[in-house]
Amino acid sequence: MASWMPDSRHLVISGNPAPTVNEQLFLADIETETMTRIMALPQAGQTTPSVSPDGTQIAFSQIQRDRDILSFPLDGSAPTPILATNLPEYGPSWSPNGDQLAYITEQKGNDELWVRSPEGNWDRPIVTLKEFPTLQTLVSPTFSPDGTRIAYTALLVGGGRRRSLAISPIGGGDPTIITDGYGPTWSPDGSTLAFLWLKSDGTLPVATMRVGSDKTPHPIFGDTSKHEQREQRASGAPEWSPDGKWIAVPSFRGIEVMSPDGDESKRKLFQGLNAGALVWSRDSKTIYGLTFQSSHPTLSALDVATGKVREIAKYDNLSFTPLLDNVYTGSYRLSMNPDGKSFAAATATAQADLWILDGFGGK
């Protein structure tokens, strides 16, 4: 959104200075092609600016957002908070035995990856600016099957790999950079990752890669630089089934379920579950999806054997939305609790108020 200043040279613009950062107001000079931030309020978003005719006032909407982690029971009962404070918390991932929860927070004003006990009696950082001094954003952490490592994506400023798919040991320490990509999911034996591979041509096919290998990732779906059509693209992160036989991927035409080796003759397309984030049941027979396409969030389940979709719950009385970072496909994930009875997901609430910045000089 933008609004002209009276001199017809300057614009007041609302935009994100960095991915997943709240919108802020900038003064843009169309002659010098430069922008200057008007206010520094990182904890609130500033949108829809409107400059007064004399240029001394700016009316705008200020949005306060809160991000929390909830537990969604698979019996359809109401979600309950896992982590809900005045700080943003998102990107949950349960450890295999349920003794730890990984999540992203901003305790020091920038993204950090932490782990905590289920009871909340301890928590500690795993990835901070110490590991990535040019860090902008962290997205989609996920525990390895043995619980000793966490894979995630670190978005960096400048340098070579700016969207680094990385692995860190649970005890902390130097991360291992894998490649450029998003939304990693582990094979059940922990030997391989499937993820959205960010290729040099800008495409995002689903690919697999053995951990520790120096080989090029192997695309198995959505490689539009080759023969596949644009609708055959991932619209969310891949999820490896617990039995290791399948990888499920949200796409622009439905839910694609494929063999890890990419054999197209084994690929299945299921329509009716239009969810951008998926999670497998522990027995690998059901895929759950949390959808937000109507006015209320809905939990649904896909029976992989029959292709039938059933609605489990429509949360009519809850006023939250998914925490979606649309710039990054695969940044929104669901994490199954090891007991198989619920999954963790990040949600967001927002409140907007109308503000006026008075005495604005403009230049």
Give whole-number Cα distances, 21 to 45, 181, 206, 345, in Å: 8, 20, 27, 20
What's CA 340's distance to the chain center, in Å?
A: 22
Q: What is the pLDDT along the chain (363 residues), one digit of tens a residue?
A: 789 999 999 999 887 755 445 678 889 998 998 888 887 665 567 888 899 999 899 998 887 667 889 999 999 999 999 998 888 899 999 999 999 999 999 888 789 999 999 988 999 999 999 999 988 889 999 999 999 999 999 988 766 557 899 999 999 899 999 999 999 999 999 999 999 999 988 889 999 999 999 899 999 998 876 555 556 788 899 999 999 999 999 998 899 999 999 999 999 999 989 888 899 999 999 999 988 665 678 899 999 999 999 999 988 766 555 554 444 567 789 999 999 999 999 887 766 778 888 887 655
Give whole-number Cα distances, 314 to 63, 287, 299, 300, in Å: 26, 17, 6, 9
269 and 256 Cβ atoms separated by less than 8 Å: yes
Q: What tokens does 260 get?
A: 């890890």
DSSP 266: G
Per-residue confidence (pLDDT) for residue 336, from 0 to 100: 97
Q: What tokens does 353 get?
A: 């108020």
Give whole-number Cα distances, 124 to 175, 203, 219, in Å: 16, 36, 36
- CA dist 274 and 159 (Å) reads 37
- CA dist 340 and 343 (Å) reads 8
Using alpha carbons only, what angle is made at residue 19 by residues 195 and 160, rounded to the nearest 5 degrees? 60
Per-residue confidence (pLDDT) for residue 324, from 0 to 100: 47
Nearest to 91 by CA among 221, 190, 182: 182
What would you report as the CA-atom Rg of the chain, rounded to the nearest whole angstrom? 22
Q: Which amino acid is at 27?
A: L
156 and 170 Cβ atoms separated by less than 8 Å: no
Q: Where are the beta strands (DSSP E) in 283-324?
A: 286-291, 298-303, 309-314, 321-322
Q: What tokens does 211 get?
A: 């951990």
Nearest to 250 by CA among 279, 223, 284, 278: 278
What's CA 240's distance to the chain center, in Å?
A: 17
